Amino acid sequence: MKQLRLDYISKIQGEINIPGSKSISNRALLLAALAKGTTRLTNLLDSDDIRYMLKALQALGVSYRLNEDKTICDVDGLGGVIDSEQLKTLYLGNAGTAMRPLCAALTLGVGTFELTGEPRMEERPIKDLVDSLSQLGANIEYQKNEGFPPVKINANSLEGGEVSISGSLSSQFLTALLMAAPLAKSTVEIKVTGELVSKPYIDITLELMKRFGVNVVNDNYQNFSIITGQKYVTPGEFLVEGDASSASYFLAAAAINGGSIKVTGVGRLSIQGDTAFADVLEKMGAKIQWGDDYIISSVGKLNSIDLDLNHIPDAAMTIATTALFASGTTKISNIYNWRIKETDRLAAMATELKKVGAEVTEGHDYIEITPPAEIKHAEIDTYNDHRMAMCFSLLSFSHAGITINDPECTAKTFPSYFEQLKELSS
Ligand SMILES: O=C(O)C1=C[C@@H](OP(=O)(O)O)[C@@H](O)[C@H](O)C1
Ligand SMILES: C=C(OP(=O)(O)O)C(=O)O
């Protein structure tokens, strides 16, 4: 296993153009594949999660051309559903934004498709989505454990009609159903049951569908109608915004460390809910300035917060390590679904925060963090979770420094993270 030792960074300063959003890249690739016409995607993210989607689309017969640095992609849309005469087995790593949307989209055509992934993917639930697709006539089998990938889709088009879906574990199930819905055989009326978690990701989905020509009637995130007869059409060129979750590490770094960082590519006009991270940081005491496509963060005296961060589950992890530099006890609540992501993030976060000396309470769906008088150096395990590695890099702003085990796990969404951090540090 590789280790990365980060010694004390006394200053972080400058400007960084954040790589493309994972959530937008994978949605845009799938919609471009289903759309009529060729779409040019620019500022596409080049990372593992996107590579899995790209490889899957290629195996499914979608043709595209990537430029040299893989940030521009011309996708020749199929102008409809995906069919296949041969069995197609698609390996999707641990990319939720590939597994869930493809599971829904592949029920629309005719063919047999197997969706597999890495061991952790086999522990991440998919039952709520499969149950909903089954209500619309889909035939999906579990190949190992009931409710979890790998799944086999015996596709023979999807009926429309009324369908209910649980929103309480992951918004990605509703996202997947929404994106598939226009290509079902008749109008789809979706009713969401339970609390809808991670709600701002649904706004990304609706906005992307609109940009590709499909209108969804949204009745207060409880009921959605997708009127039959709509087709995805290329918007021509589509610029992928910078990733707001990736931006969180740099915004937090400046707030902790007394520098000033401008992140570009994401700002006031962003469609990503994770930009609300900057508001949380501001509540903690950071100075934040917004532009249409940039955010500037600079230091303030950081105080603890006690907040429900269900709406920003990914960026909320950055608050957990930022809390070590704030006075008082920080509580982050309503984050049960941290437990079903790349790892059990509530357990992992609690274990690793304790290693640097923090006092931590791990609740069923919350975490409480009290910083130690002095942060200790530790070797941080990252559990193959890119965000564990990136969050704990913030500990390099303590005099003790930090060692990150398996730093290359950032490849899921941000392969060049540690290089970029170094470039801005002195
Ligand atoms: O739709 C998306 O792009 C995502 C939704 C969120 O997942 P949940 O809805 O499972 O919380 C988020 O954590 C994930 O990184 C990306
Ligand atoms: C939860 C995440 O990923 P996924 O899209 O695989 O759910 C994440 O990136 O933090």
pLDDT of 86: 97
pLDDT of 152: 98
Task: Return the number of other C-beta atoms located less than 10 Å from residue 61's C-beta.
Answer: 12
Identify which of 397, 396, 351, 339 has the alpha carbon closest to the alpha carbon of residue 5.
Answer: 396
pLDDT of 131: 98
Angle, nearest 10°, between helix axes 172-180 and 96-105? 40
Question: Average pLDDT for residues 8-28, to the nearest whole number?
Answer: 97
From the centroid of its chain, how far is CA 81?
25
Residues above pLDDT 90, as percent of the chain: 98
Kind and range of the H or E run holding 152: strand 151-156
Q: Please state the atom number of ligand 1 nearest to the C-alpha of residue 169.
A: 10
Q: 265-282 pLDDT, tens per residue?
A: 999 999 999 999 999 999
Higher-confidence residue of 259 and 29: namely 29
Residue 167 CA, ligand 2 centroid: distance in Å: 16
Give the burial string for 387-424 (b: 16+ CB within 10 Å, else e).
Answer: bbbbbbbbbbbbeebbbbbbbbbbbbbbbebbebbeeb
Q: φ and ψ at 140, to 5 degrees?
A: -130, 130
Q: Verify whether ligand 2 is closer than 6 Å to residue 341 (CB atom).
A: yes
Residue 199 CA, ligand 1 centroid: distance in Å: 9
Alpha-carbon distances, residue 247 vs 18, 218, 343 (angstroms): 6, 29, 21
Let me know if 314 is a catalytic residue: yes
Beta carbons of 138 and 105 less than 8 angstroms apart: no
**Spatial separation of the C-alpha atoms in residues 270 and 112, rounded to whole Å:** 38
Mean pLDDT of the chain: 97
Question: Average pLDDT for residues 174-188, to the nearest whole number?
Answer: 98
> Ligand 1: which of 102, 120, 169, 198 to mutate, most ligand atoms within 8 Å of CB?
198
Q: Verify whether ligand 2 is closer than 6 Å to residue 95 (CB atom).
A: yes
pLDDT of 103: 99
From the list 46, 314, 385, 406, the catalytic residue is 314
- In the chain, CATH 3.65.10.10 covers 3-19+242-424, 22-239
From the centroid of its chain, how far is CA 13?
26
Angle, nearest 10°, between helix axes 172-180 and 22-34? 20
**Spatial separation of the C-alpha atoms in residues 357 and 370, rounded to whole Å:** 9
Q: φ and ψ at 240, to 5 degrees?
A: -85, 125
Q: 37-69 pLDDT, tens per residue?
A: 999 999 999 999 999 999 999 999 999 999 999
Amino acid, res. 37 = G
Residue 187 CA, ligand 2 centroid: distance in Å: 30
- The DSSP call for residue 397 is G
Q: Give the strand order in the sheet containing 379-380.
A: 3-6, 402-405, 379-380
Beta carbons of 301 and 285 less than 8 angstroms apart: yes
Position 258 pLDDT exceeds 90: no
Residue 70 CA, ligand 2 centroid: distance in Å: 21
Question: Average pLDDT for residues 365-390, to the nearest whole number?
Answer: 98
Which residues are known binding-site members for phosphoenolpyruvate? 22, 96, 124, 172, 345, 387, 412
Position 300 pLDDT exceeds 80: no
pLDDT of 426: 76
Residue 51 CA, ligand 2 centroid: distance in Å: 14
Residue 35 CA, ligand 1 centroid: distance in Å: 23
Q: Verify whether ligand 2 is closer than 6 Å to residue 270 (CB atom).
A: no
Question: Average pLDDT for residues 345-350, to the nearest whole number?
Answer: 98
Handedness of CA 37, 43, 45, 46 (dihedral sign): positive
Q: Verify whether ligand 2 is closer than 6 Å to residue 387 (CB atom).
A: yes
Q: Please state the atom number of ligand 2 nearest to the C-alpha of residue 99.
A: 6
Q: Please state the atom number of ligand 1 nearest to the C-alpha of residue 314.
A: 13
Indicate which ligand has the atom closest to the C-alpha of 173: 1
Q: φ and ψ at 200, to 5 degrees?
A: -60, -20
Which residues are known binding-site members for 3-phosphoshikimate? 22-23, 27, 170-172, 198, 314, 337, 341
pLDDT of 1: 80
Question: Average pLDDT for residues 188-196, to the nearest whole number?
Answer: 97
CATH number of the 3-19+242-424 domain:
3.65.10.10
Beta carbons of 358 and 381 less than 8 angstroms apart: no
Indicate which ligand has the atom closest to the C-alpha of 312: 1
> Ligand 2: which of 21, 22, 383 to mutate, most ligand atoms within 8 Å of CB?
22
Beta carbons of 18 and 414 less than 8 angstroms apart: no
Q: Which class would CATH give 22-239?
A: alpha beta
Q: Verify whether ligand 2 is closer than 6 Å to residue 48 (CB atom).
A: no
Q: Please state the atom number of ligand 2 nearest to the C-alpha of residue 172.
A: 7
From the centroid of its chain, how far is CA 75?
22
List all residues whose CB is within 6 A of at least one atom of ligand 1.
23, 96-97, 170-172, 175, 197-198, 201, 313-314, 337
Task: Return the number of other C-beta atoms located less than 10 Å from residue 301's C-beta.
Answer: 9
Question: Average pLDDT for residues 250-255, to the nearest whole number?
Answer: 97
Question: Average pLDDT for residues 341-359, to the nearest whole number?
Answer: 98
